Structure 1
């Protein structure tokens, strides 16, 4: 005899397992602090799966770069020598991390100035070197997904320029956009702030004939200006780029923000598109973007998350109301979201914790595709139940 079980019975374990998996995936974590110093930490970078977070913290060492893992917690990375010479006065901060979390970049003080660094477990913190005729003030702002390319800005006799570094080429001047008056070299300015997964695309800001302007760089095209948002005074800055190099985010000025900053998303097809601002705020800035450009995070008075379906939303409200993390967020104020993982599931940033101190944080949310699958499953489950009830009613009437 064949037993015909209702599909709803077969679906129920699948749906429950999927729901349980997602519920276990939800989390909000304060990253803590290191001993000594005032209680203050900020997160600036996160690996692809949210397992590694980097940033800066005040500690007995001074102001120190850190690398955080779920198993090992927060570990200070030291600096390039100042902390050894002047205990308690060390200085470093971590600005970015590779996709697998094994390579970190940022800026640290050395006996000769501020230098960009590259850190691995095997080598520790290693300086990326100096530039000819410079005053050794160099900032490491971002690292490629594969950990092989570092970008930032360097000061050469009070003229800042964007650089791209690899172990083969060293630090290479990326130049400036056209239009800066040549008779006043101090007006020359460029900074690289984001880099794609393989290092082939770099974004940032450069002075131009129109003013400070976001750019996108490739080996083939060099620096290409991205323009600005409509209205307002001219001024834009790219802050990050997707791993595939196709989506650039940052902020410009627009009429809708009364000449203040507005977050943007740029693609070659659509150009620069403003993302608006949260209700009650006056500005917005985009800081990070997922691998495919579908999720963007930043600050609009408070931390925000953006996607094409819902637009810009208050991240804390989303975590509390949509993902049920209200109890974990009690007493917290999420000030700024600084980066998002490649898969869009891990978001990091800075906030004020329940004790009133500044603290870095990590939020883990489910993949949108998982929600869609479960939504369809639940719809099917409830739909089948409704259909079965209707059939039973019809049967009784017959």
Structure 2
């Protein structure tokens, strides 16, 4: 990989998102079904087709993949289906680099499943650690909710009415909380939460079942859904649930559009921004809900945050939202056809990010310099800032080199310190995303202030396994905001070398953190955004 990068010409300046942008995805007939944590990747559902949108790349069709219905938090993988040899749809996961990995990864049907109108199974969502959930048909022709992992295969999720249909719609980031529905005997749907192999049917304070659970927060604490019958308003309303509050109706719209029912489709990590839709007389309009503003038109909510919906657009549903609630995706009507959008409400991004690395010495035979004699097991830390100013893109959204702010760099081991020196191209912090098959964090071999010594910091992120391609949803430095442990990487090389590598101090990685440098702000999303 290094030879590929070294041979590339670093010519293009890295771009950054502007405040108040509305992205028309220009995909007639497609509906956006999910948005990644940082809002840089979207999945789109179309008839017999799956699309993937990436902020720096645009829309691409995923070959041999149908009906992209959801995705893991970092946009790798998309959840949906593909066709088997008999032309029946079966559950599958697809990656942005699926051509390199042999196409979609097939989950398949339930053994002996009886196809219903060409359908055997479909994945509706995927977790960060490789758990997929969705809908399948068993040997009796009954639809059921499933959970799948590479280690365990497809298993039926238990329900309180196994004779009735069920479906799993979404899964938390860690795969431990799954939400969906199970039909009641009268045909109405009950929202269900699955935790630790147990199904919890959701009901209001009076014990009346609520409708379908459509989404869950990344940490599994908050669930939202639709079709809760409010006996006060006599409307079917969107709802929000936590263990502390129980089911809360989110209301209908008090506008000229009227309101027969509202639905919640997606929520921010803290559950304080919920997007969905409202329907009246068969006409849909996109909605947003906040604790302060209640239920409102999504177009009004965007306008209040300096995003103008272009003329000719009618927003009909909000279907995806970033972790911080500042990027919203959905679909509507544009130029006489169904189309999808992504609206970004972020202010101009910071120009610097802070990188913090922690580890321990695992081998050291350096004969000289500040680290000579540092013992095995000594804690090591490395901190520096990287800037987006004069950053160099090799491939938009996939690999960019960000200049390291030299006077911010310090590597410390046992109280001894050293720094880097200027190079012709930096030095650079390189962020690679799906390039070509994995994510990575790199500081290629760079001269240190101690003459004759160099440092290399190379992390290749999960080209296979449960975190495949799932470290970032783009290579945008100002949107990473995450801490990684060693388990996220297939290859780790953190070493200070001398005399062509004859001597060195090798360091084991404990964690690496990249987060925005935002004054007076917790840039790592204190409410559970970091990895533990």
TM-score range, shorter chain: 0.7 to 0.9
**Does 1:350 find its partner at 2:344?**
no
**Does 1:77 find its partner at 2:62?**
yes
- For 1:125, which of 104, 109, 113 is the aligned residue? 104
Partner residue in 1 for 2:412: none
Conserved? CA contact 2:93–2:105, under 8 Å: yes
What is the rounded CA distance, in whole Å, between the counterparts of 2:129 and 2:51 in structure 1?
Answer: 17
TM-superposed CA distance for 1:123, in Å, is 4.4
**Does 1:173 find its partner at 2:167?**
no
Partner residue in 1 for 2:180: 204
Partner residue in 2 for 1:263: 238
- For 1:313, which of 290, 296, 310 is the aligned residue? 296
* CA distance 1:198–1:234, shift in 2 (3 Å): closer
Q: TM-score, normalised by structure 2?
A: 0.56
Task: Specify the SS of the correspondent of 1:319.
Answer: helix
TM-superposed CA distance for 1:272, in Å, is 0.4
Partner residue in 1 for 2:253: 278
Partner residue in 1 for 2:216: 241
What is the rounded CA distance, in whole Å, between the counterparts of 1:23 and 1:117 in structure 2?
Answer: 32
1:15-34 superposed matches below 5 A: 24-33=18-27
Task: Specify the SS of the correspondent of 1:272.
Answer: strand
Partner residue in 2 for 1:150: 132
**Does 1:339 find its partner at 2:327?**
no
Conserved? CA contact 1:239–1:287, under 8 Å: yes
Partner residue in 2 for 1:161: 144
**Does 1:104 find its partner at 2:106?**
no
- For 1:325, which of 293, 307, 311 is the aligned residue? 307
What is the rounded CA distance, in whole Å, between the counterparts of 1:284 and 1:239 in structure 2?
Answer: 12
Partner residue in 1 for 2:39: 50
Conserved? CA contact 2:204–2:246, under 8 Å: no
Conserved? CA contact 1:99–1:342, under 8 Å: no
Partner residue in 2 for 1:379: none
Partner residue in 2 for 1:395: none
Partner residue in 2 for 1:291: 269
Q: TM-score, normalised by structure 1?
A: 0.74
1:212-227 superposed matches below 5 A: 212-219=189-196, 222-227=198-203
What is the rounded CA distance, in whole Å, between the counterparts of 1:132 and 1:162 in structure 2?
Answer: 14
Conserved? CA contact 1:257–1:283, under 8 Å: no
User: What does the per-residue CA deviation read over 1:159-186, in whole Å, with 9 as the maximum and x for residues that have no partner?
Assistant: 1111001100111001221xx4x8xx4x
TM-superposed CA distance for 1:311, in Å, is 1.3
Partner residue in 2 for 1:8: none
Unmatched tracts of structure 1, length 5 or more: 1-21, 34-38, 81-91, 375-398
TM-superposed CA distance for 1:329, in Å, is 2.0
* CA distance 1:365–1:324, shift in 2 (3 Å): closer
User: What does the per-residue CA deviation read over 1:183-216, in whole Å, with 9 as the maximum and x for residues that have no partner?
Assistant: xx4xx21111111010000011113468531111
* CA distance 1:201–1:291, shift in 2 (3 Å): same
TM-superposed CA distance for 1:78, in Å, is 2.3
TM-superposed CA distance for 1:330, in Å, is 1.3
* CA distance 1:143–1:345, shift in 2 (3 Å): same
What is the rounded CA distance, in whole Å, between the counterparts of 1:141 and 1:152 in structure 2?
Answer: 5
